[in-house]
Amino acid sequence: MASRDASPPMVNLPDGSSFKIGIVVAQWNPDITHALLQGAKDTLKKAGVKDDHLEVIEVPGSFELPWGARRLLTSAKRNAVICLGCIIQGETKHDDYIASAVASGIMQLGLTSGIPVIFGVVTTNTPEQAIERAGGKHGNKGAEAAATALQLAHLQQGDPSNKKTIGY
Ligand code: RBF
């Protein structure tokens, strides 16, 4: 089958100058995750997010991303938290277990806190596929995660029920 571009269209970014954003980045496969981080930072900067409105923390691996995201949600009021990681398939099924635990942890955290928590985790069969998604021919998934965070933060600002934080 011919390959197709499944990425979201790059719409105009909302004004991020008032947004407070947290990023949690995993240290496994650091060449990839740091490229995702750079992509995310570039996009946030383009949207006007101020340096002092951005906090970045690192966790050992993708499995710890939900824990790191929760920490960012509880330590300050933020408009969105972005989780960046890279899980590459090995000889065993570890990648499946880690990826599904992380995906459900991130989803749960977003729903219980009411604050957007964004899944920016590249899960691939090979290192090459990861490189292609961290600034290569398939774009930068960190940049896309940041655009999603901005879009949801913007949507939430227009939500009249968004007067108090639930959960944490
Ligand atoms: N973390 C990642 O972010 N990406 C990986 O590809 C990855 N592979 C792992 C493979 C194995 C066999 C194990 C045990 C851990 C791996 N981790 C990986 C680390 C994991 O996310 C977590 O940091 C550790 O399991 C400690 O909780």
Is 138 known to be catalytic?
Answer: no
Domain extent, residue 38, equals: 21-153
Residue 27 is assigned to a structural domain of this protein: yes
Task: Note the pTM of the prediction, 2 decimals.
Answer: 0.92
CATH number at residue 72: 3.40.50.960
Nearest C-alpha to atom 22 of ligand 1 is from which residue? 61
Ligand 1 within 6 A of 63 CB? yes
Residue 166 is assigned to a structural domain of this protein: no
Give the other-Cβ count within 10 Å of 64's Cβ.
Answer: 20
Residue 81 is assigned to a structural domain of this protein: yes
Residue 70 is assigned to a structural domain of this protein: yes
Determine the Cα–Cα distance for residues 77 and 126; give it in Å rounded to an integer.
37
Residue 104 is assigned to a structural domain of this protein: yes
Residue 124 is assigned to a structural domain of this protein: yes
Q: What is the pLDDT of residues 143-162, one digit of tens each?
A: 999 999 999 999 998 865 55
Ligand 1 within 6 A of 85 CB? yes
Q: What is the pLDDT of residues 119-148, one digit of tens each?
A: 999 999 999 999 999 999 999 999 999 999
Residue 14 is assigned to a structural domain of this protein: no
What separation in Å is there between the alpha carbon of 59 and the centre of ligand 1?
11
Nearest to 80 by CA among 155, 9, 160: 155
Ligand 1 within 6 A of 102 CB? no
What separation in Å is there between the alpha carbon of 163 and the centre of ligand 1?
38
Tell me the pLDDT band of 54, cut-offs 50, 70 and 90: very high
Q: Could you give the number of structural domains in the chain?
A: 1
Residue 140 is assigned to a structural domain of this protein: yes
